Structure 1
Amino acid sequence: MTHMGKTPPPKGPGFEPTLRQIPIATILPVKQLPITVPKGQKYAQIAASIREAGLIEPLVVARAPGQDGTFILLDGHVRLHVLKEMGEETVTSLVATDDESFTYNKRISRLATIQEHKMILRAIERGVPEARIAAALNVDVALIRRKRTLLNGICPEAAELLKDKHCPVNSFRSLRKMKPLRQIQAAELMIAANNYTVAYTEAILTATDAEDLVDPEMKKETSGITREQAERMKAEMASLQKNIKLIEGTLGPDHLRLVVAGRYVERLLTNERINRYLEKNHGEILGELGRIVAGLSRPEPSSEGPDEADD
């Protein structure tokens, strides 16, 4: 008997409720690390961190379909590589119940600033001294203290927007001088422009009205920027903010249509007859369709270069 019209059962949680100790030999990576990664500074920092403070962030895996006891690695390729070099046999892992539930990690090429901040806080909560963390990350203790207090004065909404972004520590210094609502607007502007530099956040600060600052008395003309330039910058940023809100209204449906269309094209290309016909008669179109399909899951290149690639 069919059940047409009935609401499908709600989807279960994306992860199993408890962490598991999984044999490393049963975990299958989904990509091979470039040979330059183990030679890079970021790799050395991650390796030193694991040796000094242990594995803070668990790996994320999914059960391999049809292979009992085998897991597919979704997030943590560098950490797994380090653990193998250390001779570890098991690793703490979070098991995803759906291997698509963590696909956003394909787009994260290294540890984001706020994620690193949380990692440092966890290490300190576990009793790891700041000096030891600094030694593990090969940085000065003063930088560890700045990263530990990274979100002091930052509203939760702005922190949520920037949680997976690679913002310089000093960019948060400008955000702290703004009131919460302006911090959110600034974070949205940074995301829209894909610009998280100190200079850009200082420009946003310069274009901020005195009433939107934590200390309005600190509002003063920035060296090198005239009042007219600041006013023009403020008008341009207000226009950009308005455009962001307009785009937000259509982003979800547009993305959904893109994914559906892309998957349809992907299915078409798996048809051998269609593939042969296009290859014979429309090779250029076939190439473009192939690029569309490849673009659905291609990770964004890291702005930090190959040495910074993480997971």
Structure 2
Amino acid sequence: MKKNNPPIKAAFNPRIYFIEINQITPLKIFHSKFKTSKKYRQILQSVKAIGLVEPLIVFPDPQKENNYLLLDGYSRLIALQSCGQTQAKCLISTLDDTYSYNSKVNRLASIQGVHMIIRAMKAGVPVNELAHALNLAPQTIINKFNLLTGICDESIKIMADQEVPLGVFPFLRQMKKLRQLDVVTCMKNLQDFSVRHARFLKDTSNENELIPLKNKKNTAADTASMAQLKREISNLRIKQKNIFQTFTIDSLKLTSIKHFIKRLLNNVEIVKWLAEHENEYLIEFNNLVNNDKI
């Protein structure tokens, strides 16, 4: 006989509330240079252009009636304050959990962002309006629109859910389809989409795997550079072997530490004490638990 499982309890009230900003208390304090960061400037510009899209997540303050603790949305809260807003759209959480809303997030991958820009421009949205809303230069929008030119469909599918720097794509365009696909697969398996890694894989490719450059002549300097590159590759492989020998143990230790810190940050009293007395530790703890690569 099958057991009747209890219904799953929602983690927040689905209704959106408009709450006075002065009734919301952040649980963390960012560095003074936070407002100069690129991410914050983009959020601020988006709030100015189209308003708040994603509601803040708050939890009723057990010590103050009609007040709330901010679980997620610090950047959006500061942006609203900078725009002179007095109220914010909020979802009220049923749990005082600061971890899930920051860690269990389907973040927008690079290629997904490019597809959004392509669709917007094809729908007739002017480049200047897109640039203004995203706090980007118009030329950057144009570059993103053309970013996937020369990239095969199979490689695009592999990178669809990955965070890939813009500097990787010029190296991929220099490769033929099969080599491009091989390189992208390798980068995903190693979870390393850095520009340096892309340059390394491109430089170690055979000539018949690359798209020929027009009017390129090999010189003595090119030969010397290639010899130096081979020596560096040899040294890199030795270092890589040494790292692999200690990686498993170090990874296990770090996972255990991260799990313990998550439990600490789920305690509102601990978070409030750290914010008041050891804010630098709180910032580093948040950076650690929000790092999806660990």
Which interval holds the TM-score relative to the shorter structure? 0.5 to 0.7
Q: How many percent of aligned residue pairs carry the same amino acid? A: 21
Per-residue deviation at 1:144?
Answer: 0.5
**Cα separation, 1, equivalents of 2:80 and 2:182:** 43
- TM-score w.r.t. the length of structure 2 is 0.57
- Cα distance change on mapping 1:117 and 1:15 into 2, 3 Å: farther
Corresponding residue for residue 86 of structure 1: 83
Please tell me whether the aligned partners of residues 151 and 159 of structure 1 are also in contact (alpha carbons under 8 angstroms): no
Shift of the alpha carbon at 1:175? 3.7
Query: Who is 1:180 aligned against?
Result: 181
Q: CA contact under 8 A between 2:40 and 2:75: conserved in structure 1?
A: yes
> What residue number does 1:257 align with?
256
Partner residue, 2:98 = 99
TM-score norm. by structure 1 comes to 0.55
1:52 corresponds to which of 46, 49, 53: 49
Aligned residues: 254
How big is the alpha-carbon RMSD for the aligned residues of Structure 1 and Structure 2? 5.2
Partner of 1:309: none
Contact 1:29 1:72 in 2 (8 A): yes
Corresponding residue of 2:19: 23
Q: Which has the higher contact order (CA 8 A, sep 6+)?
A: 1
Structure 2: 5+ residue stretches without partners: 266-277, 289-294
Contact 2:131 2:141 in 1 (8 A): yes
Secondary structure (helix, strand or coil) at the match of 2:205 reads coil
- Structure 2 residue identity aligned to 1:173: P
Deviation at 1:231, TM superposition (A): 3.9
SS at match of 2:29: coil
Where in structure 2 are the equivalents of 1:121-140 lying within 5 Å?
Answer: 128-137=125-134, 139-140=136-137
Return the match for 1:145 from 130, 142, 146: 142
- Pairs within 5 Å for 1:157-306: 157-162=158-163, 167=165, 169-176=166-173, 177=175, 178-186=179-187, 191=192, 196-197=194-195, 201-209=198-206, 213=209, 215=210, 223=222, 226-233=225-232, 253-259=252-258, 297-299=285-287
Counterpart secondary structure, 2:100: coil
Counterpart of 2:44, as a letter, is: A
Q: Which amino acid aligns with 2:156?
A: C
Q: Work out which of the residue numbers 53, 58, 63 in structure 1 matches 2:59.
A: 63
| Structure 1 stretches lacking a partner, 5+ long | 1-8, 267-289, 301-311
